[in-house]
Every structure is written in C-alpha cells, then in structure tokens.
Structure 1
Amino acid sequence: MNDKQYVIDDLSANESWRIFRIISEFVDGIEHLQEIYPAVSVFGSASITESSPVYELGRKVGRLLAESGFSVVTGGGPGAMEAVNRGAFEAKGKSVGLNIQLPREQTANPYTSISIDFRYFFVRKVMFVKYAVAYIILPGGFGTMDEMFEALTLIQTNRIKPFPVILLGKDYWKDLISWIKKTMLMKHRMICPDDMELLQCVDDPAAAVAAIKRIVIL
C-alpha cells in the first residue's frame, strides 16, 4: 500500500468518526433542550458593550420574554447575547446559551441556566430553530444576518412553520429593509411581495414581545 492510499484511508476514518461527533451533538442538544418549548431565539452582536443602548435593549427584551413565559435562547456569548440572557436570568426564566467553538474562543456569559457547547454551526442552527416559536434579531454582523436569512429561507420554502421574525431597532435595520424592498423585490423581482410580510421591524422590546404573543398561545 502506497503513501497516497494511507492518506485516503486516514481521511475516510476521520470522516466516519466525524459522523458520530455530529450525531452526539444532536443527541446532547435534544436531551438538554426538550423542556424549553416554547422558546424565542434572540440574536445579536458579540461586540456590544454594556454601555451600549443595544445592551439595555437586549436585557429588556430578555426580561419581558421570560416574564411572558417564554424560554430565551441565544448564542451564549458576550455582548447582545449576554444582555438577553441576563434579562431572562434576572427574571428567573429559562435562559439558554448555545455556545460555539471558534478560532478566537468564545467565552460563555454567566447568565444562563442551560448552557451547551457546539462544534458544528449547522447542528447549533437546528437547535436554535427546533424549539423556537419566534426569532428576535438585535443589531449584529454577519452571524446575525446569517441566522435571520436562514429563518426567512426556511419559512419561505415551507421547511418550518411560519413564525414571527422581528428586527429590533429600526434605525439599524431600515437601510437593509429598504434594499430588500427596492432591489430584491421591486427592481429584480428576486422575492415575492408576500415575502416582505415575513419580516417585522420595531423599536420597542414590549412591541416585539406583544407581536409574538398575538400569534403564540401559551
């Protein structure tokens, strides 16, 4: 057997073991999270500091969700995620953090009652949506956008039941919403007019929670 064959066999073995790691993450996630329904997954930037108005926005929405009987799920890290978990934790609600292993190690925030570490982004994404009855999107970067557009795609293609996807902070999101409407919808017709109804945008955390409660009966 030549060196090339050894490399191929080694890669095959690694791929086989990777399947088991993936399965174990699904099992671990389901075992830990099956009691959190109904949950609201909230996303936002890890770069937000405690002095930012967005931090207080997140803390308030986390508290209101917990007081309304929802479990609160975030990415478990610092910034906006910490703020949301903190609000839910202080309200004595279920505060869930789904952490991810990153090249620059993400530190779990201290305000979670349930914390799980994931190696694979796609497993983590399944857990974000599996027990969620709504998404709330705080200001954030690529990761936040990724979660938002994935939810919209899953709803648009009927892979999950429609649920509220609420952008919190009109000033931050207004240009993106305008671009979606003017460029994607009106200019290039890449989406349908009904697709615009999948998104809501509000400034007040109480309005975001009220929008969810109008649809979700606890």
Structure 2
Amino acid sequence: MDSTTPAQPDFRSRQSHHAAHDREIESLAEFDHVVSAHGTLAHYRVQAVDLTDRTDVLMSADPTGAVFLGCPMAPGAAARVAAAGALVFPPIPGLPFDPYRARVYSPDELYASLDEGYASTPDASSYDWFQQTRADGDVFASMLRAVHDDAVSDALDELLIGTRVVGVMGGHAMARGTAAYAGAARLGRELARAGFTVATGGGPGAMEAANLGAYAAPFDDAMLDEALLLLAEVTSFTPSITDWARSAFEVRERWPRGGASVGIPTWFYGHEPPNAFAAHIAKYFANATREDGLLARCDAGVVFLPGAAGTVQEIFDNATPNYYESRGEPTPMVLVDKEHWTERLPAWPLLDSLAGGRTMQSRIALVDRIEEAPAALKRLGG
C-alpha cells in the first residue's frame, strides 16, 4: 500500500486560523506555539493531541476554561488541569476510531493493514463497531458517533476554507472499464484542472471515477488512460473489496503525489468501501448528516451523473435549499444524460417544474453527454 501522501492544495492556513482566531489546538506544534506565544491555555480547546510529554506545561500553565478532548496525558496532569478549571474528556479505550479527531481521514489511514485483507482495516473495524452498537441501542455509543461526526464536520469546514467546491454525484454501480466510468474520470480531471475542488460521496463507481480524475489532474493525459486500463482488471468492489482497493493503491504507487480531492462517504452504507483516490475522506456514521453536509459544501455547483435512488435523493436534497434560497443564491445543478433523467428516472420534469418562475430556474441544466457538463456548469455561473 502506498504511504506517499498526495499533493495537497493550499486549502487553509491552519496554524494562524486556529491559534489566532478559533482558539483550537489540533497538533503538538500548535500547542507548543500557543504556550510559547501566550503562556496560557485558558479558554483554548485542545483536540486529540498527545500531551503525555507536556506534563510540566500542564502542571504550570493556566487552564481556566480550557477543554481537552481526547488528549492522552499523565494522570497527575489530568487531575491538575481539571482541578484548576478545565474540562477533560479522556480518550475512549477500545474504539476502532477517535471520536475527537481533529482532521478528516486519509486513504492510508482507513486502509491501514490492507495487506492482511480488508477485514483487518480500521474502515472495516469501524463499520463492524457501528453495526454492533446500532443494534444494541447503547446511548453511550450513539453519543460517541455524534461526537465523531461533529468533529469530522468541523475538520471538513477547516479543510475547505477558501476553496470552490464542485460536487460530482452518481451511482456506486458504475463499473471500472466502462465508457461511463472513463467519462466520469475525465470530468473530475477537467474540473480539478479548472481550479475546483472535486467532492464526491467518496464511494465506488462514479464517485471513485471523479476522485480518480482529480488525482490524475497534475499528470499528462496519458496517465489517466493507463490508470483506467489497470483499474479495469478489477471492475468492482464485489466480490473482493481487498482486490478492488489494492488495485487503486497500485495506481497511486505508480503515480504518486496526485491531485487532491474530497470524498464524503458513510458507514451507514458500510458495505460500500471508500475509494482510495480522494486524498481527504470525511467519513460519517450518520448518513443524513453526511448527505446534507456534502451538498451544502458544493458552493460552485453539482453535477449529477446517472444513478438510482441515492442520486435522486441528492438531486432533491440539493433542490430544496435552492428553491427556498436558504443558502443564498442557488447553486448550479447539471443533470447528465437526458434519457436517464427524463425516461428511466424522470427527475428532470419535476425539478424543472419545481424551478418554474424562481431564481433557481436559471441555475439548472440538462445535458446529453458528460463532456457537456463543464461548459454547462460555467454557463450557469459555477
């Protein structure tokens, strides 16, 4: 499995944003900077930072009103900061994930131990935990899921500061090796080269293809053609997620440091694994939180490729705030494949009727071919 981190766009200035404005500390370097610059921890929020080697600071600095979320520290240090006015939420042992995490996931993190098979990975272990705890209705487990999802949302917001995000939605059944998959990959590449941050539902099929295209954006065009041929040897995540994921990591190893994009999957559909081409993976337990958050962050528009129930849901989830203009000016919506959206699953006539006479009508388009989507998006103001 590839351990090389893909090239990262300049999504944010994390240290200045947090230390100077949000008072959040999310790394040991930020912790040291705050202590050195300000000499106090009062009213800071320290999130998932290992402080076991900072006992002297914790025993001396003022922690009044501070909150420590899942920060390992010596027992004496934890007792001291709590007694001095801080709130301490200790790490939770035995979990396959960190509910207080300060950053979104990476493919390498979720697929650690893939060499031993997908069942050994943190992604699979987290799904198993979700299945077990959802079945028994444990209120503590549901609280941990909510804390985790809120932390992921916070991390995703920070990641996307200053970006223009275009969502690409489509079905998980789109197989590698098909013309549709190749078209979705080229769409992702064109959007990334145009300066957009590509965001998908983070799973297989059309979602993987768009993330692959964004990954391929820094390379010459031949790279994507070769990658598509390699991936076509394992067309689907069934019957083997292990083989499917390994083939993606083989592409990453052959062409390291690809372009970055975002995937926003969910363990609610845990049988659909996350794809390895999204450099940043904001994975949620609650699908409703994930769906709303994915669409709300696509501020430069959404392209809807042919899909089934999930994609239809996303069309109208996105149409609702556009109809009411609850997020300001409506975001562009481009539906690809006229026959699919007017005959097989006739979402377009309803969407067009819903938009009639409203501002959103000038922000929707239906096109025949995927190659037309970028121009349509630009025409609509994306």
1:145 counterpart residue number: 312
How far the C-alpha of 1:104 sits from its partner, in A, is 4.3
Q: Is the 8 A contact 1:77 1:108 kept in 2?
A: yes
Alignment of 1:121-132 (within 5 A): 121-124=287-290, 125-132=292-299
Tell me the secondary structure at the aligned position of residue 314 of structure 2.
helix
- Structure 1 Cα separation of the partners of residues 304 and 347 of structure 2: 13
Alignment of 1:38-57 (within 5 A): 38-57=164-183
User: Structure 1 counterpart of 2:350, which letter?
Assistant: I
1:3 counterpart residue number: none
Of 353, 356, 369, 1:204 maps to: 369
1:180 counterpart residue number: 350
Deviation string 1:82-121 (CA, Å, 9 cap, x unpaired) is 1111111111343211121035432121211222211122
User: Structure 1 counterpart of 2:357, which letter?
Assistant: D
Instruction: Please tell me whether residue 102 in structure 1 is matched to residue 268 in structure 2.
Output: yes
Q: Is the 8 A contact 2:186 2:213 kept in 1?
A: yes
Change (3 A) 1:104 1:203: same
1:67 counterpart residue number: 193
Q: Is the 8 A contact 2:348 2:366 kept in 1?
A: no
How far the C-alpha of 1:64 sits from its partner, in A, is 1.1
* TM-score of the pair, normalised by structure 1: 0.79
Change (3 A) 1:41 1:103: closer
1:4 counterpart residue number: none
1:213 counterpart residue number: 378
Change (3 A) 1:28 1:141: same
Which sits farther off after the overlay, 89-98 or 18-27? 18-27
* TM-score of the pair, normalised by structure 2: 0.47
Which sits farther off after the overlay, 107-116 or 169-178? 169-178
Structure with more of its chain in strand, by fraction: 1
1:80 counterpart residue number: 206
Q: Is the 8 A contact 2:169 2:200 kept in 1?
A: yes
User: Structure 2 counterpart of 1:122, which letter?
Assistant: A
Instruction: Please tell me whether residue 194 in structure 1 is matched to residue 357 in structure 2.
Output: yes
Q: Is the 8 A contact 2:295 2:318 kept in 1?
A: no
User: Structure 1 counterpart of 2:306, which letter?
Assistant: P
Report % sequence identity: 28
Higher relative contact order (CA 8 A, sep 6+): 1
For the pair shown, which has the larger CA radius of gyration, 1 or 2? 2
Residue segments in structure 1 that go unaligned for 5+ positions in a row: 1-9, 186-190
Q: Is the 8 A contact 2:200 2:207 kept in 1?
A: yes
Q: For the aligned residues, what is the CA RMSD?
A: 2.7
Tell me the secondary structure at the aligned position of residue 201 of structure 1.
strand
2:160 counterpart residue number: 33
How far the C-alpha of 1:162 sits from its partner, in A, is 0.8
Tell me the secondary structure at the aligned position of residue 200 of structure 1.
strand
- Structure 1 Cα separation of the partners of residues 183 and 357 of structure 2: 29
Deviation string 1:39-68 (CA, Å, 9 cap, x unpaired) is 100100101111333212211211111111
- Structure 2 Cα separation of the partners of residues 12 and 77 of structure 1: 28
